[in-house]
Amino acid sequence: MKSLRSLVRITSGLVLLAGSLIAQSSAPATATSATTPATASAAADVRGLVDAHSHLFSYEAFGGMLMCGKPFDPDGIAKALRDCPDHLPNGELAWFENFTRTGSPTGTHDPVGWPTFRDWPAHDSLTHQQAYYTWVERAWRGGLRVMVNHLVANRQLCAIYPLRRHGCDEMDSIRLQAQRARELQAHIDAEHGGPGRGWFRIVRDPAEARQVVQAGKLAVVLGVETSEPFGCRQVLGISACTRAQIDRGLDEMYELGVRSMFACHKYDNALCGVRFDSGTQGAIVNIGNLLGTGRFWQARTCTTAEHDNTIEPAGVLPGQIARLLPPGVSLPIYPAAPHCNTRGLTSLGQYMIEGMMRRGMMIEVDHMSVKAADSALDLLEAAGYPGVISSHSWTDPHYLDRIYALGGMVTQYGHDAEHFVDEWRRTEPLRQAHQVPGYGYGLDANGMGRLPAPRAGNASNPVTYPFTSLDGVTLDRQRTGERVWDVNQDGVANYGLVPDWIEDMRIIAGPEIVQDLAAGAESYLRTWASATQHASLR
C-alpha cells in the first residue's frame, strides 16, 4: 500500500538552555554544578531528550518480588535501595538474576545496595533497581524532558517465579503501578515546596506536556506494555476477550492517564501474534507461550524481506525453567530461518487499534509479529493516523519508513554508544526524507534488558569529567552513598548516567547527534499532538 506522507516538519537548530542546579535536599545521588535547568521561551520549540520506553515501577510487576529495590520509598533511600530477601546472604540463591546476567543459574553477588552498591546497580544486572528517582533527576538536569513510563505486567512470568507479594492479574498490576507513579510525583512535590512544584509531572495531553517542558520540568507520559491487555488471552485458538471488554479496558486506561499502549507483548494473545525472542531467553518465553495459550509459537519460513526474530536452539535450560514443561513435551523444531509468526492481527486487535485511534492514543508496533505489524500499519495508513511509534527497536527495520511517512516516531533501544551511533547514522536518510527533526531513545530501564555497556576501546578518547551536558549543566561523576560511577568503566549502570552516555556519543559522532537528540522531545510532542488532532476530527 502506498504510504501517506507526513506533513512537513520545521527543523531548527539546537538551542542550549543555560541553567543551574539547586542543592539537593535528599541524600546526594549526583555530583553536579549547583545550578538549575532554565525554562524555554513560550514561542520556541521545546528542546530536550525523549525516552519513549522505560519502566520506573516494574518492581510491583511479576508478583512484586522479582525486581529488587524501588524508585523511591517514603522512609528514604536506605529502605528503597536494598536487595531482594531471596538474594541474601551472597546471591547464590538468586537464580533468575544469575541466569539473566551470566547465562548460568549459579553465581554470587554482594547483596548490599545503599550505601556501598558494590555489585549493583550495573548495566547488565537485570533484576536490580536502575531508576531511583534522584538518578532520573540527574538525567532530567542533563536534558531529559519527556519520558514515557510504561506500566508493565506479564502473567506467565509472575506464575513462573515462585515468590510473590501480589496476584498475577495483569490489569491489577497496571493499576497499582499507576498509583505508585502518582505517589512518586507527590513525594517529589513535597521535596520542592508542595503540589505542582516538583520537576516530575505526569501529563495527560500534548499541550500540557509542552507547558511542562517549557517550564523546564520532566513531562511523564503513562503507557502500558502488557501481554494480555484487559485479559485478552487466547487459549488453544479460543479468544477470552470481547469488544465490550476492550472498550471498558481502553476507557479505564484512558481515565488512569495512559496515552501509549501495546496490543501484544512476548506472548500471542487474542489481539495479535508477537515478534519472537531468540536464544535461551526465547526458549523461556516460548515455554511461557505454551503455558499461557496452550501452544508453542507457530512459525514459517518467511518469503518477504520483513521477518521476525529467529527462533534459535536454546541450549540447556535452567532446571527451574525446564521443569515447567509437561512430562514428555519438548521444545519444537522449527523450519529454516528467516522465521515469521503465522499469527497476525486479529479482528479484535483491529478493534483495539481503532479504539486507540478514536482516543488519540499512541499506538506501539514493537513486539507485533511482522504479519500483525503489516496489518496494523495498513489500518493506520488507510486512516491517515500519525500516532504510531516504534519505541525500543523491536519491529522489523523495513517498517520504519512507513512509520515516518505517517508522521510517527522512532526511538532506538539503549544500545552501547557505538551501536547507537551506527543505527542513528543508518536511519538518518529516512528522517531527512520525511523531514523529521529529532531522534530519541527507549532505554527500557527496569525492563529486564541490559543498559548501555561501556564503550570498548575508549582509553584514547574517554568521557572526561566534569563535562557540560546538552542543557548547559556541568556534571561530574555521579555519586550515590559511597559509590562513584564513571561511564567509561561502568557504562550506564543506572539512569543517572544517561547524560554521560550522550556525552560519550558526542565524542565519537560529533555535535550533530546531540542536536538530533535535543530535538527528540519536540518531535515526540508533534506526533502526539497530530494524533490527538486527528482523533478530534473523526
The CATH number for 255's domain is 3.20.20.140
Q: Is residue 305 part of a domain?
A: no
Under DSSP, the state recorded for 128 is: B
Q: Are strands 299-301 and 233-235 parallel, antiparallel or unpaired?
A: unpaired
- Residue 222: beta bridge partners? 149, 258
Q: Domain tally for the chain?
A: 1
For the chain, list residues with pLDDT below 70.
1-43
What Cα–Cα distance (Å) separates residue 114 from each residue in 83, 206, 341? 9, 37, 44
Q: Is 230 left (phi over 0), alpha (psi -120 to 50) or beta?
A: left
Q: What span, in angstroms and rounded, lies between the C-alpha atoms of 125 and 97?
A: 7
pLDDT in tens, 281-292: 888 889 889 988
pLDDT in tens, 180-224: 999 999 999 999 999 999 999 999 999 999 999 999 999 999 999
Quote the pLDDT of residue 302. 97
Q: Is residue 96 part of a domain?
A: yes
How many CB atoms lie under 10 A from the CB of residue 329? 11
Q: What stretches of 192-334 show up as alpha helix (H) in DSSP?
A: 206-214, 243-256, 279-293, 319-322
Examine residue 115 and say whether the peptide bond preceding it is cis (omega within 30 degrees of 0).
yes
List CB contacts of 7: < 8 A, sequence separation 6 or more.
Answer: 407, 530
Q: What span, in angstroms and rounded, lies between the C-alpha atoms of 148 and 515?
A: 21
Under DSSP, the state recorded for 20 is: -
List CB contacts of 234: < 8 A, sequence separation 6 or more.
Answer: 240, 241, 268, 269, 270, 293
Q: Is residue 57 part of a domain?
A: yes
Q: Is residue 308 part of a domain?
A: no
Q: What is the pTM of this model?
A: 0.91
Q: Is residue 1 part of a domain?
A: no
Distance between first and last Cα of the chain: 22
- Which of 180, 24, 2, 18 minimizes the C-alpha distance to 496? 24
Element (H, E) at 303: none
How many CB atoms lie under 10 A from the CB of residue 41? 10
Quote the pLDDT of residue 318. 74
Q: In residues, how long is the chain? A: 538
Q: Domain limits at 186?
A: 49-273+343-537
Q: What span, in angstroms and rounded, lies between the C-alpha atoms of 99 and 96?
A: 5
pLDDT in tens, 362-402: 999 999 999 999 999 999 999 999 999 999 999 999 999 99
Quote the pLDDT of residue 104. 84
Q: What span, in angstroms and rounded, lies between the C-alpha atoms of 215 and 201?
A: 11
Q: Is residue 336 part of a domain?
A: no
